[in-house]
Structure 1
Amino acid sequence: MIDTDLPRVLVVEDDPQLLAMLGGLLTEEGYQVDIAADGQQGLHLGLTREYDVMLFDRGLPAIDGLDLLTRLRVRGIVTPMLILSALANPADRVAGLDAGAEDYLGKPFDVAELLARLRALRRRHLDVARSLPVLKGRLELDSRCVVVADTAAVVRLSERECDLLATLASRPGVVFSRKQLLAIVFDDAESPVVVDTYVHYLRRKLGRTVIDTVRGRGYELGRGG
């Protein structure tokens, strides 16, 4: 059974061994992974499903990676995209970024760097919203504060508190496991206990109902019930 609460990534790569490796790696990292072996299939998936991030090779059959990227952008797809390619000289990188990619990583690549770049892309994409509704009012990402609706009081958050609350507020109704939140928000930490600690900090500042605990599964943005 597929867990639809997981962040979703589309991987388009024509090397079957690399495609299988990326699919397994990202699944282990807490992503729901869709894979495509050519640009045509990648285009279909990119237009018909919603993703948190997309990962493309350049030298794809049917539709080249840059052409695929351009077609998705022209049709209004704003999902952050990373190109992973053996074509990695400065001119190639410039071409990829000019075509609309947010990031470009050459092959061969370091797995830890790839995962860090994907996390960074998701965070930057989230920041575009600048302001997100939460139970107590609105989370303002630029100033890292919550403006409380009833009183207009301002509650200031630390960087990690803001990142955690923003992750939950970006997908209300979605339950995030402690492992997912550890990977998304606390990528330099090893123990999921840090997630519980920051949930406690946020509840202390904003009230216990700002984050709901879903027993046996994880945390979600508070619903006020």
Structure 2
Amino acid sequence: MSENPRVLVAEDDPRLAAMLTELLESEGYDVLVASDGQGALHAGLTEAVDVIVLDRGMPVLDGLEVLRRLRESGVTVPVLVLSALGNAAHRVEGLDGGAEDYLAKPFDIDELLARLRVLRRRATAIVPTVRFTGGALEVDNRTVVLADGARVALSERESALLEQLARRPTQVFSRASLLESVFADADDPGVVDTYVHHLRKKFGRELIETVRGVGYRMGAAA
């Protein structure tokens, strides 16, 4: 498998997409291209990429709609929006919509490359993680990175439960203790079982082991 950084270029202009592909490949990137918003959304949800260059004005789905759906799905890959709409209001709209950067067309090639380098440096900065057999939980962004590189977004409570178990992988936690430490605003121990079920549904039953008559402890990711 290539160790080059991987970039998704979502651009419907075939000439610009080809130019960006050639440019980025010459800079050492592996390039994946999507020519419309639906393709960009699918690739963003299913492909492992390090950064996304996203045209704002694409057919099928607008770039900002693609961005909104990616963020709602828990995708945290840094996104640079390219757009012919370059005034301050449009830039603010893009940044508020979840983009890390916004560059107006026409753009300077060296500036584009520099901005991508900045986004990659930010994305690869040290993130607090809790490791477990088969993966690691990135605590700040509530994302599990599996051994094969796949990234799975968690809800706040799923993340809190997994973190509690993974930090002490050999300890058996009773439902009562998990209810107190993770679900302090709930009074029904059944909520623990519910979120164990959610995590097992995402990662397989082996992730969390049931210790009959006692409670739960970490197993291994499927």
TM-score band, normalised by shorter chain? 0.5 to 0.7
Choose from 42, 45, 48 the match for 1:47: 45
Match of 2:119 among 107, 118, 121: 121
Larger-gyration structure (1/2): 2
Superposition pairs of residues 77-96 of structure 1, within 5 angstroms? 77-96=75-94
CA RMSD of aligned residues (A): 2.3
Q: 1:38 maps to what in 2?
A: 36
1:140-161 per-position Cα deviation (integer Å, ceiling 9, x unaligned): xxxxxxxxxxxxxxxxxxxxxx
Q: Does 1:99 align with 2:97?
A: yes
Pairing 1:34-183 to 2, within 5 Å after superposition: 34-127=32-125, 129=127
Gaps of 5+ in 1: 134-171, 173-225
Residue aligned with 1:14, SS: coil
Aligned residue for 2:24?
Answer: 26
Letter in structure 2 aligned against 1:40: Q
Partners of 1:128 and 1:93 lie apart in 2 by: 28
Deviations 1:20-49 (A, max 9, x none): 000111011000100011000011111111
Q: Secondary structure at the match of 1:33?
A: strand
Distance 1:97 1:73 in 2: 12
Output the TM-score relative to the length of structure 2: 0.57
TM-score, normalised on structure 1?
0.56
Using the alignment, how far apart are the partners of 1:118 and 1:130 within structure 2? 23
Q: 1:144 maps to which residue?
A: none
Deviation at 1:106, TM superposition (A): 0.5
* Aligned-partner Cα distance in 2 for 1:66–1:4: 30
Q: How big is each residue's C-alpha offset from its partner over 1:77-126, in whole Å with a ceiling of 9 and x where there is no partner?
A: 00000001110000000000000000000111000000000000011112
Q: Unmatched 5+ residue regions in structure 2?
A: 132-146, 148-222
Return the letter of the residue paired with 1:12: A
Aligned residues: 135
The aligned amino acid for 2:78 is: P
